[in-house]
């Protein structure tokens, strides 16, 4: 399947994307993960992105489009992809549309994970992420804690709080979402691709998406 996952930070895009990859082998493409790996590696992209990310602001569109154009040409994307955290602005959505036209691809749907703000805030402050860049399993200290010593069940690396999950950065990320990303809901509605999902249960959400895409 070829879908865009929309929703505020903490809406569950990453968790749902991971469940969907198990369904049909579509690959999860998370611009946030790509950028965090670049910051960790200390490469050119990472150096350019680091400051924006730590402040909870968006990385400039041209940097993101360079990453995505290259990534979508990779052979594993031919099976399908789950875009997690991209597009994040109207110019990114328009550039993606043009890119699809150029390479002769079509989106199946844009899924909006509609989660109340109080749930989002609670999730972001309690979220822990495996620090191993090849794993990045997502935990929650309340509902899905890591091992008692704080390490990941899958790979044993420490599960940590992300640098942009301080209260201040979270507030900024939500403001950025409301200003820059939420207009995409209307954009995809006009494109006839919008599907709204209101469930808070990731397995239920994944099943709803599978049903919507099959239609
Ligand atoms: P995420 O893990 O998707 O919440 O992304 C973490 C951070 O990476 C965001 O707060 C942004 O600074 C940056 N980022 C991720 N995806 C994008 C994007 N599509 N456009 C601009 N910045 C992005």
pLDDT at 167: 82
Q: pLDDT per residue over 142-175, tens digit each?
A: 999 999 999 999 999 999 998 888 888 898 999 9
Of the candidates 109, 72, 86, the one whose C-alpha atom is nearest the C-alpha of residue 30 is: 86
Please indicate, yes or no, if residue 130 is contained in any of the structural domains: yes
Tokens at 54, concatenated = 């730590």
Please indicate, yes or no, if residue 44 is contained in any of the structural domains: no
Q: How far is the CA of 9 from the centre of ligand 1 (A)?
A: 9
Please indicate, yes or no, if residue 100 is contained in any of the structural domains: yes
- Is residue 128 annotated as part of the catalytic site, yes or no? no
Of the candidates 194, 196, 191, 193, the one whose C-alpha atom is nearest the C-alpha of residue 208 is: 196
pLDDT at 166: 83
Please indicate, yes or no, if residue 188 is contained in any of the structural domains: yes
DSSP assignments along 70-121, one per residue: HHHTSGGGGG-EEEES---SHHHHHHHHHHHHHHT----EEEEE---HHHHH
Q: How far is the CA of 46 from the centre of ligand 1 (A)?
A: 12
The count of structural domains within the chain is 1
- The mean pLDDT of the chain is 93
Residue that the structure tokens 């594993």 belong to: 76
% the chain with pLDDT above 70: 100
SS3 168: helix
Q: pLDDT per residue over 98-140, tens digit each?
A: 999 988 889 999 999 999 988 999 989 999 999 998 899 999 9
Q: Which residue has better confidence, 214 or 192?
A: 192
CB 12 within 8 A of CB 122: no
Please indicate, yes or no, if residue 69 is contained in any of the structural domains: no
DSSP one-letter code for 180: I
Q: pLDDT per residue over 8-49, tens digit each?
A: 999 999 999 999 999 888 999 999 999 999 999 999 999 999
Please indicate, yes or no, if residue 128 is contained in any of the structural domains: yes
To the nearest 10°, report the CA torsion of 156, 15, 48, 67. Answer: 110
Q: Is the pLDDT assigned to residue 66 strictly greater than 90? A: yes
175 CB neighbour count, 10 Å cutoff: 12
Q: Which atom of ligand 1 is nearest to the CA of 89?
A: 20
Structural domain boundaries enclosing 84: 2-26+80-214
Q: How far is the CA of 215 from the centre of ligand 1 (A)?
A: 31
Q: How far is the CA of 113 from the centre of ligand 1 (A)?
A: 17
Please indicate, yes or no, if residue 185 is contained in any of the structural domains: yes
Residue that the structure tokens 């997502």 belong to: 138
Q: Which atom of ligand 1 is nearest to the CA of 88?
A: 19
Among candidate residues 2, 18, 50, 127, the one labeled active-site is 127
Please indicate, yes or no, if residue 123 is contained in any of the structural domains: yes
CATH at 107? 3.40.50.300
pLDDT at 57: 92
Identify the residues whose C-beta falls under 6 Å from ligand 1.
9, 31-32, 35, 52-53, 56-59, 64, 85-86, 88, 92, 164, 173
Distances (CA, A) of 54 to 14, 62, 134, 168, 170: 19, 19, 21, 10, 10
């Amino acid at each position: 399947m070829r879908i865009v996952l929309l929703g505020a930070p903490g809406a569950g895009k990453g968790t749902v994307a991971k469940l969907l990859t198990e369904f049909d082998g579509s690959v999860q493409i998370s611009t946030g993960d790509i950028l965090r790996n670049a910051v960790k590696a200390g490469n050119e992209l990472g150096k350019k992105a680091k400051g924006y990310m730590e402040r909870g602001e968006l990385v400039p569109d041209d940097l993101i489009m360079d990453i995505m154009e290259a990534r979508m040409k990779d052979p594993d994307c031919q099976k399908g992809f789950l875009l997690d955290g991209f597009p994040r602005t109207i110019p990114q959505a328009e550039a993606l549309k043009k890119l699809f036209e150029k390479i002769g691809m079509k989106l199946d749907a844009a899924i909006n994970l509609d989660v109340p703000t109080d749930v989002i805030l609670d999730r972001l402050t309690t979220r822990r992420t495996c620090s191993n860049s090849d794993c990045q399993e997502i935990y929650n200290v309340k509902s899905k804690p890591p091992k008692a010593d704080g390490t990941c069940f899958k790979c044993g690396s420490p599960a940590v709080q992300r640098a942009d999950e301080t209260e201040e950065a979270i507030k900024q990320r939500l403001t950025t979402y409301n200003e820059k990303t939420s207009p995409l809901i209307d954009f995809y509605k006009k494109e006839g691709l919008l599907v709204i999902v209101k469930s808070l249960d990731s397995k239920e959400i994944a099943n709803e998406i599978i049903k919507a895409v099959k239609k």
